[in-house]
Amino acid sequence: MLRSTVLLVLSSLISTGTMASDKPFSIAIHGGAGTISKANLTPEQQKSYRDKLQQAVDAGYDILAKGGDSLSAVRASINILENSPLFNAGLGAVYTYDGSHEMDASIMDGKTMNAGAVAGVKHIKNPIDLAMTVMEKSPHVMLSGQGAEEFALTQGFQLVPVNSFDTESRYQQLKSAKEKIQKAESSPEYQASTGLSTGSSTGPNSHHNYKQSALDYSEFDYKFGTVGAVALDQNGNLAAGTSTGGMTAKRFGRIGDSPIIGAGTYAENGVCAVSATGHGEYFIRYHVAGDICAKVKYQKKSIIQAADEVINQRLITAGGTGGVIAIDQRGNIATPFNTEGMYRATRKNNEPAQVMIWSDL
């Protein structure tokens, strides 16, 4: 009788998800990497960031703890970050040069290798939701701009006014960025490097100089705003997702690495899942998310070693800055970054969450 009662209680605990699982599962999230100075964040601001990161990582963890899938956990965590004005995604998206907002997002299922992404959308409250719908409800991987929003309407999404994403702090960033860009582009040095002052190029590297100058003058301290999540569920399935408002004062329909599978987002069962944040052009050129997983898969390196080599060696040598969150098939987590800080949080089964901003927490 006693044995039957114990078994019944255990069965109830397991079925309701209140008993810790012995299967590995874990989640990591980030809210962007960059010049995050302790001196520039008040204790109240630090608490706001940490509280929101805690809320986001707990939302994903709760899904995993109850036996939910990694895709749902990733989406839930990113939704919370997209709905906060603290981070450069969704509600907190930065302004483009013309005073609008253009958002990108991607998500990948490590079990099926299916992926979905959207780029340059202006009227989608939660871009990660549309990216997931592209993956699940279309034969495509990426949709962009007006076409992505037309597809959204066919799937029951509501388009929101572009001013829904307006915030005073982001507007002040835009004003500051535009002043610096305009001052820089009116300088004789800049015009000489582009050939604008003479009507001709100044040498074989003038095109490169133009591209690099445009990046140098338009990214600034808030260039790395991105949010993302990676997760391993109890069935061993990996998933990754990334969402961003892009670069402050960006022009010409610029798209970074966040919606690019293999650059800003990647997941493959049995290998790893990665979400990136940083100087997008470098993450695209160096295939950062995919490169980390390739090192794990083909060179048999640990997730910590692989991520560190790419972020703190290869990327630094190339001149790129940023960071990643990554999880392997056993639930091990890596969160390297080569900037002053990276908003991030991690949580594994049977362990409390860790919420961090700098290298010393």
Annotated binding-site residue numbers = 254-257, 277-280
User: Is residue 152 helix, strand or coil?
Assistant: helix
5 is catalytic: no
Q: Which helix (H) or strand (E) holds 163?
A: none
**Whole-angstrom distance, CA of residue 352 vs CA of residue 329:** 20
- Sorted by sequence, the CB contacts under 8 Å of residue 66 that are 6+ apart come out as 17
CA distances from 337 to 20, 40, 257, 263, 343 (A): 31, 19, 16, 16, 10
Cα 89–Cα 31–Cα 289 angle in degrees, nearest 5: 95
Token pair of 10, please?
């255990």
Annotation: binding site for substrate: 254-257, 277-280
- Sorted by sequence, the CB contacts under 8 Å of residue 348 that are 6+ apart come out as 24, 25, 26, 331, 333
Report the Cα 102 to chain-centroid distance in Å: 15
Number of H helices, E strands in the chain: 12, 12
Q: 242 - beta bridge partners?
A: 106, 228
Choose, from 194, 226, 242, 248, the residue flagged as catalytic: 226
Just list the catalytic residues: 226
